[in-house]
A and B are shown apart, each in its own frame.
Chain A
Amino acid sequence: MPSSLLWAVDVYGRVYSLSTAGQQWEHCRDAHLEFKRVTAIQQCCWSIACDHQIYLYVHASDVPIRYQEETYENQVSWWNPVDGFSDRLLPSDRWQWSDVTGLKHQPLGDFQLPSENWEWEADWYVDENFGGEPTEKAGWTYAIDFPATYTKDKKWNSCVRRRRWIRYRRYKAQETWVKVCTKQTGSLPDPFNDITCGGWEITEEPRGCLSLWAVSLQGKVWFRCGINHHNPEGSVWEEVPVPGEVVQISCGPGDLVWAVLWEGDLLVREGIGRDCLKGSSWVMVESPDTGVAAAHVAVGVNVVWAVTKDHKVWFRRGVNSHNPCGSGWIGMVGEMAMINVGFNDQVWAIGFEDRAVYFRQGVTASELSGKAWKVVSVPRDSERSHSSASASSLQSAGCFFGGEVRLQSHASVLGDADPETERTGAEVVPTPEMGDALKPRIPKVTSDNFISELVSDRDGQISRRDAPPAGPSIPEEDHTEKEVEDRVSPAQVLSPSQSSGVDPQWSNVDLEEAQTHLASGPGDTAETSSLSSVVTYILALEEPYGPDEHPKWAWVSGGGCLVECHTQLNWFNSSTATGQPALNSSMQAMSHSITPAQTAEWRKQIFEQLSERSKREMENFMHYEQAIEQSVWVKKGTMQWWRDWKPHKWVDVQFALEQFSGAEGNKDGILFIYYTFNDEKKYLHVFINEVTILVPVLNDSKHTFAIYTAERTKQRWPIRLAAPTELEMHDWLALLSVSCCDSRGIQGPPSKQAIWSVTCRGDIFVSEPTKELEAIPYPTPCNQMFWRQVGGHLRIIESNSLGVVWGIGYDHTAWVHTGGYGGGFFQGLASSTDNIYTQTDVKSVSIYENQRWNPVTGYTNRGLPTDRYMWSDASGLKECTKNNTKPPSPNWTWVSDWTIDYAVPGGTDREGWQYAADFPASYHGYKTLKDFVRRRHWARKCKLTTTGPWQEVPPIPLSDITILPCGPKSTVEQVPLWAISNKGDVLCRLGVTSLTPGGSSWLHVGTDQPFKLISIGAVHQVWAIAKDGSTFFRGSVSTQNPAGDCWYHIPSPTGQKLKQVSVGRTSVYTVDENGTPIHVWIIADKVQGSHSLSCGTVCRRQGVLPNEPKGHSWDYGIGGGWDHITVRGNAMEAPRILMPSLTDNGSNQTAARPLQTSNQPEMNGNPVGC
């Protein structure tokens, strides 16, 4: 999984981030300011600096943030029949330059960049694409009059024409803090005091709206409007009226927003929804503890945590989106200064006593309150910019106490200071004459009310704090303790009694002086030693808080930090690990020792020598008798079997696998299924060496799998079995799979030429191609191919013959094959040890709510007797209520509640309804008089966690992928790999080689519209289909120029929108000369077997030759329930073409009917067709 960041601010206002993969806090050096608050989400981090302004830090991404500006140029022809169209329009006509409606005047010159953080990508140009078709005449589209329907062809009566101009602007301020400008008309917010960002789960992609709430120093609440993917900074602040003075606010990933009032009660925002991110009203919730005011609140998706002024931590019961107020408070252990809820409702906090960052351990969906607090103890990166930080904190401190808001500008100057200088400074401190009089006097920069409050509360407690916390040495600690007290207590800082002669007086005058010194310091080393005590003192001050010290934190934000139950965090004290019993060792121990040495020479040598040895000692002697006779070995169990005769039903059977040594020393076996028929005991058997596949079957209640042989593939009637438990099924599948592989002599990782496929259940299968499969003229039927399962879960898989295999999960995550095998339920020896990783996937389960219109009551959930279920699947045939619908298989767990899907094709109304005249009919997103029924789509997310030889390729979610097919002896150094992101961006992966199949980075290839499918041919032909169906060819793609230079729009076959494109070795219209067979594999919708019908079947087109690209017949392989197959790795003797021209499109073009099965959801439930 990709690493993500936890953000925190220390008491000096320095911003640090900690990667989930890292082990130290990284100082965010870019920040020249001190920050008071940060609120992070995955793509960015917002903050309030000491100047009370809001700053934004957008993480760099391979896909730029770009926005398309468009305007229309309008012309008429009747003015001037001779010259044709003219840009002089009638006064009643629309503007010569307008928006799409024609009503708004929009000349090119009026477009301005929204802020200085944007830049234009190129100049304006004419969009020549019209509804998926290229236009010929400079992008003009014609109509009889404005406003009318435009066509791309000019007709006799075309009197007006228009064309679209587009220009892209790009957000350039990434990986840097930028001030968020307040170009605000109307009332400007006063300086900000608190900020919180969230709400990304309310709206779906591609809108990607965010909610940013802020609290001003006067206690007003502001909402930042218009933050989305295309506008990271948002547009304006809107004030949200509050019934009191707010001190702090928290916004979760969903629709939860809570705020703390000055008086200590809490406010809950209600009415937040997709159409109203701001919400509508506040509800008051009392402080957790009567008499003690709430000081701080933090919310997640389904949780609320609070801290009261006595630092107690509280957890709110029963919070969810229907009941944002929850039902009651539970007191938790721990004393915290602040608390923050991040991703997955994980909780972070800052300890009140020690100011350390705490992580709440054991927070899961079922146990949202977690188990225990665990201190995050990792060092900070030690850096010489310490002095700069301290100096700047001095300045900001001055700003704060002087009541001035000033951007400090000297920090960077000092940051470049000679390290020598700093050291000299540092050495001054321990000198005796300075002595105890030298008490650090850094006032805290976190000026927020409640921390100040906490701090002042502490004054009374100082005396009883005599036991210093654990540290390297006690005297040092003592010193630190005092400093802490002093530092965090503004009262003491300002108290004159504490000031001695050398103590700095905290006034602006002194600060001015200090700044002068600091600015001149770096220039002159000699002068440094004679710096005033103030300056030396400040430099020295850092010493006690150096990298080895326990840092003091002021604020933490985990909104961008993804921690899941399987995440390995190395953030906690390593001493616990060493204290473990010696033999509580990991199962990965074997791999651990060798991982860094994977490619070492000694290792290679051993592999080579061992295979040489085997050859030398065994090759010529295989006819010798084996010394040890193999005995028969039996494993038995009970199962249920879907019986062969009618009525089909599950019957209890005994199940036994007998294994023995085959004739040639390899293992073989027979599988027996013992059943009773008419009180007579009978059995069914399968020879293990005839099994072609063992495939888990999608079933929401039983743990089922199917066993196919070549014969049963022909029949489309596998042996279907159900194991009593998931564990037993996995045990059996692993055992049977090993047994099948043994009988066929298959072991180790899949070859580079392997054929990969995925089923509709997301299971991954791999088959080793054989020469016989290619034999001419009688190839082995593909129902004899042996498929073995590989761990993991994918929706799409692509490979090439250099062993580069990529997949995309249902949640659009990209995965690259590590070269291993096994994982998932394959344990021990059926699995490689050193390249198996955790893989997760998330998908949505759909149900439909159906209603019929009734003249009296309007739409109701009472249908006609003949109607479908009022809660059903997409077909309406199966009843699916919110309660009875389960995740697709017991391996999945729900991770969200049911939500309405507004993103259905055809659109919906505001409540998500789609209307139609009757069931089933075509639905539209608005009600007309003829509509008597309506439905809406509900979706609920579920999640699977498994393992497999796959490594995530963060961070961009993908929807399609293609890899250059290579010949068997291809010497391509960098393998071209193209992908389409789930937002439709075209991407080209750089640095993909057979040794580094994951590549290094994405290169964004600009397009005028979102794309959906892509394919690359053997000579770098890149073809792609946009979301509107237009087909594009990328020009000049080559090894030297991996991204090509421009897109060519290719007209698609008349009357057809292309759904799939796949390019093989032969280019699109020309034919390969060398007469080698070409491969076409598809997944067919429906295949009739002798016993049954199967959907989603792997088929191979036979007789496809360069001069006969259509082939002559289909050869049916494994199925049904297959979703995706790739044969691009299979280049055993022929260059490949993957050309799914199913039937009738008459030409040998690259595209035709869908390669994948149709998307009817009902089929997904039915992988074995029966």
Chain B
Amino acid sequence: MADDKDVLRDVWFGRIPACFTLSPEETTEREAEPYYLLLPRVSYLTLVTDKVKKHFLRVMKAEDVEEMWFEYEGTPLKWHYPIGVLFDLHASNTALPWNVSVHFKNFPEHDLLHCPSNSVIEAHFMSCIKEADALKHKSQVINDMQKKDHKQLWMGLQNDKFDQFWAMNRKLMEYPINEGGFRYIPFRIYQTMSDRPFIQKLFRPVSPEGHALTLGDLLKELFPAAICVEDEPKRFQVMIHGIEPLLETPIQWLSEHLSHPDNFLHISIIPAPSD
């Protein structure tokens, strides 16, 4: 019998094969070869693309280089979403590898945040974790941690150290047994076609009557359209880490096992493929 630990590993070690090509808009000295890379689903684009940057800088003049940003089929990719979320949202059900265009000019100011250095990513990541813990434990766990513990979480992500990360993250996933779960589930629901960046509300893992709430319960409240009605074709796919969990999956279990390192459960809702 597989163990729930394996889920954590599978989630952590999820990789998306990506093919980075320089956007044709960029001016180069000579033709740029595409660059192939296995991207960790749980990491951030700007955190893991140093090699991509180096690769393309070799064929470019320094004066043509501004801040690097990525785009997929015309959509600028928000670096502050986990890579897996970007992929699920924009490119699931397409052929692999994932073709990402690399830009060094014309930074889309109103679509993307600037990311001058890794410390910006770290700040974003830590603020997510803190927000999640505020929801889960009224910030008690994260506040009880020392500075070096926070650092360990970040370094774990940055260096892809599963053990290092989980040695600390374990504490963030605890809860009192008699309460049956966290205070609130930190989650975000993303849609492709929406003006809102994502949906996020207070949602408890256990109903007032004491039974465990499920993914279906969450969607019923926040995105009823995602729930299939009988006899109707499926309109949406509900994706977490590239899979579609059954609607009866307890939301607490999902939060413990399928959350990203930032402790949020990122749920992508995408139109079901028409075929």
A residues contacting B by CB (< 8 A) are: 577-578, 580, 582-594, 597-598, 600-603, 605-607, 609-614, 616-618, 620-622, 624-628, 630-631, 633, 738, 747-749, 819-821, 828-829, 832-834
Contact = CB atoms under 8 A, between A and B. Distances in A.
A589 B173 contact: yes
Interface string B118-134: 00000000000000000
B8 to A, nearest CB: 8
A628 B253 contact: no
A742 to B, nearest CB: 9
Contacts of A631: 159
A658 B188 CA distance: 39
Contacts of B224: none
B228 to A, nearest CB: 15
A498 to B, nearest CB: 47
Interface in B160-179: 160-163, 166-167, 170, 173-179
Interface residues of B, number: 65
Contacts of A625: 36-38, 51
B202 interface: no
Interface in B242-264: 242-246, 248-250, 252-253, 256-258
A628 B175 contact: no
Given A602-B248, A628-B43, A832 B5 contact: yes
Interface string B1-40: 1111111111101111100000000000000000011111
Given A582-B140, A583-B176, A593-B253, A628 B40 contact: yes
Contacts of A606: 7, 243, 245-246, 249, 257-258
Contact of B241 (A602, A613, A820): A613
Contacts of A738: 163
Contact of A627 (B51, B177, B178, B241): B51
B206 to A, nearest CB: 10
B97 interface: yes
B51 A607 contact: no
B96 A621 contact: yes
5 contacts: A593-B250, A593-B252, A610-B7, A621-B15, A625-B51
A616 B37 CA distance: 16
Interface string B29-64: 000000011111001000011010000000000000
B113 to A, nearest CB: 20
A583 B137 contact: yes
B3 A829 contact: no
A609 B13 CA distance: 15
A823 to B, nearest CB: 13
Contacts of B180: 593
B43 A627 contact: yes
Contacts of B2: 607, 748
B6 A607 contact: yes
A610 B38 contact: no
Contact of A630 (B17, B138, B159): B159
A696 to B, nearest CB: 22
A607 B7 CA distance: 7
A1033 to B, nearest CB: 36
B141 interface: yes
A601 B1 CA distance: 13
B179 A582 contact: yes
Interface of B: 1-11, 13-17, 36-40, 43, 48-49, 51, 96-97, 137-138, 140-141, 144, 158-163, 166-167, 170, 173-181, 212, 241-246, 248-250, 252-253, 256-258
B245 A582 contact: no
Contacts of A611: 10
A370 B211 CA distance: 39
A569 to B, nearest CB: 15
Contacts of A618: 15, 17, 38
Contacts of B141: 583
A833 B137 contact: no
A601 B246 contact: yes
Contacts of A585: 174-177
Contact of A594 (B137, B166, B253): B253
A600 to B, nearest CB: 8
A992 B233 CA distance: 45
Contacts of A588: 177
B48 A627 contact: yes
Contacts of A602: 245-246, 248-250
B56 to A, nearest CB: 15
Contact of B10 (A578, A605, A614): A614
Contacts of A605: 245-246, 249
A992 to B, nearest CB: 16
A617 B253 contact: no
A867 B197 CA distance: 89
A336 B33 CA distance: 87
Contacts of B37: 624-627
Contacts of A829: 5, 8, 162-163, 166-167
A535 to B, nearest CB: 42
Given A620-B96, A621-B97, 12 more contacts: A589-B175, A605-B249, A613-B241, A618-B15, A621-B38, A624-B97, A627-B43, A627-B48, A627-B51, A628-B158, A628-B160, A833-B5
Contacts of B166: 828-829
Contacts of B163: 738, 828-829
Given A627-B39, A819-B1, A833-B3, A610 B241 contact: yes
Contacts of B14: 613-614, 617
Given A606-B249, A613-B243, A828-B170, A593 B256 contact: yes
A749 B1 contact: yes
Nearest to B155: A631
A624 B4 contact: no
Nearest to B180: A593
A834 B43 CA distance: 28
- Nearest first, the 8 A-B pairs at minimum CB distance are A621-B17, A609-B243, A627-B48, A602-B249, A602-B246, A585-B174, A628-B160, A589-B174
A285 to B, nearest CB: 47
A563 B212 CA distance: 33
A959 B242 CA distance: 51
A607 B159 CA distance: 26
Contact of A592 (B43, B137, B177, B241): B177
A820 B5 CA distance: 11
Contacts of B173: 589-590
